[in-house]
Amino acid sequence: MTLIHLVILALVQGLTEFLPISSSAHLILTPQAMGSADQGPFIDVMAHAGSLLAVLVYFHRDIKDVAMGKLALLTGKMTPGGRLALLVAVSLPPVMIFAGALYVFDLVEALRSPAVIAAATLVFAVPLYLADKYGPSTKTTETMSFKDAALIGLAQLFALIPGASRSGVTMTAGRALGLSRSESARFSMLMAIPVIAAFALVSLLELVQSDTSGASLNAGLIVAGLSFLAALGAIAVLMRLVERVGFLPFVLYRIALGIGLIAWMVA
């Protein structure tokens, strides 16, 4: 894989991971659009490692509070950070269980077609728009309930469909349940940390067990570094943009992408 391909893949992963436009769809479509082979598991792992580091850096205060809160929970004391850790934990079981089932039964590839991506991109744009337009802004992560976290976790199941967008469905659910725009984005990204870490771990284990050597370490480091920078910038833009204008720009992008994919498939 050439340097320009690595750069494009890293930027695509970093820019789309936390935006409600589906990074998995873009990573599937990018090699096809460039006429290149799939990037392979090593590059995927390094790209996700870079975006994971970005969210850890951007939300480092929350991460610190969560870590301290977990320690406090061991002593029987509930702190805001400990409660946030429990909220994230409550949201995780559905997607972990169903993602594991898709992996075990080898159904992942069945969902990676452009037709599925186009349909999901368009279909899930509608609830994102409606939830953002009509959803109240009465809750924060400090006041949301554990039931809210569980419902957002259930919504995250749709993220297993390429094109639906993990960020998109969780932000949609957050807005529908009354979280403000910035708080729904914040909770969505905090939820992403264990999910991305789990994906990276599974991919890494696959890589270790495979007989192929994969890409070079230098290529992986380039991808991780660029993905980190792109993701950090994307998170900063997202947090400012949703507070000022909402999710409409992403809804319009999804509609344009879905229509463009359909036109590409029928051409």
d(CA 143, CA 29): 39
Please report how the helices 146-155 and 181-209 are oriented relative to each other, as an axis angle in degrees rounded to 10.
50
**Per-residue model confidence (pLDDT) at position 215:** 54
pLDDT for residue 32 is more than 90 = no
Beta strand spans in 87-194 (E):
none
CB within 8 Å of 77: residues ≥ 6 apart:
none
For residue 46, name the pLDDT band (cuts at 50, 70, 90). Answer: confident
**Per-residue model confidence (pLDDT) at position 211:** 53
d(CA 261, CA 186): 30
For residue 258, name the pLDDT band (cuts at 50, 70, 90). Answer: very high
d(CA 149, CA 156): 11
3-state secondary structure at position 139: strand
What's the pLDDT tens digit per position in 118-152? 999 999 999 999 999 999 999 999 999 999 999 99
d(CA 192, CA 235): 12
**Per-residue model confidence (pLDDT) at position 210:** 66
For residue 38, name the pLDDT band (cuts at 50, 70, 90). Answer: low
Q: For residue 73, what is the enclosing H or E element?
A: helix 60-74
What's the pLDDT tens digit per position in 52-104? 999 999 999 999 999 999 999 999 999 999 999 999 999 999 999 998 888 77
User: CB pairs under 8 A, 24+ apart, for 199-204?
Assistant: 199/48, 200/45, 200/48, 200/49, 200/52, 202/103, 203/41, 203/44, 203/45, 203/48, 204/41, 204/45
Q: Which of 13, 23, 11 is nearest to 164 (CA)?
A: 23
What average pLDDT does the chain have? 90
The pTM of this model reads 0.91
User: Residue type for 112, please?
Assistant: R
